[in-house]
A and B are shown apart, each in its own frame.
Chain A
Amino acid sequence: GAVVSQHPSRVICKSGTSVKIECRSLDFQATTMFWYRQFPKQSLMLMATSNEGSKATYEQGVEKDKFLINHASLTLSTLTVTSAHPEDSSFYICSAKLAGGGDTQYFGPGTRLTVL
């Protein structure tokens, strides 16, 4: 149980285009999902907390207009990187918490974004 999927697993795009990454909780409902960014050989940096039906809460320094987050249902959150640039190339990982309690975050497999 507690499986989180991400799609796509890998994406290559041209500079200036927008890319959407989906995060789904497959066998549980998640009122809260998190989006992280991980640079090579570094730790995870929280970008934003996504709550179903409300606006995401962004961490300091993260541009909300560049990284659009939508959490439209209890099983799906999306991250859209708008007008991507090479410096946005990174490994993006989502996680989800079980609705109704529990403190464990369950992580998706990650999405490798490469912006040319």
Chain B
Amino acid sequence: AQSVAQPEDQVNVAEGNPLTVKCTYSVSGNPYLFWYVQYPNRGLQFLLKYITGDNLVKGSYGFEAEFNKSQTSFHLKKPSALVSDSALYFCAVRDIGWAAGNKLTFGGGTRVLVKP
């Protein structure tokens, strides 16, 4: 079984300050990890993913995430938040084991509010 936890329902940050959105996961094998962002009444936009290799992954719009196997975490970060980053962020995991299929499991989402 695979699961994802986003412990914070909402994160508030002032514009220009660093932004961190937390994500922890649980899989039986090795994980593929993803971050998506959703704006109101829209679908999800892909931000970045970790498959293998460098633990620090850089993605769209200045976001990055660090894969930490020992802590089973994949926190999303941005050094300097913009008001336009205000949205709903989802972390997702896929177990790359053969029995897991293609299914992604999503976390509950974290709403980010960047105040000017």
CB contact list, B28-87 vs A, under 8 A: 32, 34, 36, 41-46, 49, 51
A29 to B24, CA, bound (A): 32
Which of A12-20, A62-70, A82-90, A105-113 lies at the interface?
Answer: A105-113
Write out the residue numbers on chain A whose beta carbons fall within 8 Å of the beta carbon of B32: 103
Q: Is the CB of A107 within 8 A of B104?
A: no
Question: Does residue A115 face the partner (Cβ distance < 8 Å to B)?
Answer: no
Q: A103-B32, A104-B34, A107-B36 are in contact. Are A43 and B43 (CB under 8 A)?
A: no
Q: Is the CB of A32 within 8 A of B102?
A: yes
A contact residues, range: 20 to 34
Q: Say whether B106 contacts A44, CB under 8 Å.
A: yes
Is A42 positioned at the interface, with any CB of B under 8 Å from its CB? yes
Please classify how large the interface on chain B is, using the bins under 10, 10 to 19, 20 to 34, 35 or more.
20 to 34
Interface: A97 (CB within 8 A):
yes
Q: Which residue of the partner chain, among B42, B51, B104, B107, contacts A105 with CB atoms under 8 Å?
A: B104
Do B42 and A110 touch (CB < 8 A)? yes
Q: Give B111's nearest chain A residue, CB to CB.
A: A41
Instruction: Tell me if B25 counts as interface (CB < 8 A to partner A).
Output: no
On whether the beta carbons of A43 and B90 are closer than 8 Å, the reply is yes
In the bound complex, residues from chain B placing their C-beta under 8 Å from that of A34 are 102-104
Instruction: Please determine whether B109 and A109 come into contact, CB atoms closer than 8 angstroms.
Output: no
B94 within 8 A of A: yes
Determine whether A75 belongs to the interface, using a CB cutoff of 8 Å to chain B.
no
Q: Whole-angstrom distance between the alpha carbons of A24 and B43 in the complex?
A: 14
Verify if A56 is at the interface (C-beta below 8 Å from B). no
Find out whether the CB atom of B44 lies under 8 angstroms from the CB atom of A49: no
Q: Does B101 reach chain A (CB closer than 8 Å)?
A: yes
How many angstroms between the C-alpha atoms of A95 and B32 in the bound complex? 17
Give Cα distance in the complex from A12 to B110, angstroms. 29
Q: List 20 A-B contacts (CB under 8 A).
A: A4-B43, A34-B104, A42-B108, A42-B109, A43-B90, A43-B109, A44-B90, A44-B106, A49-B103, A91-B41, A93-B43, A103-B32, A104-B34, A104-B49, A105-B34, A105-B104, A107-B36, A107-B45, A108-B43, A109-B43
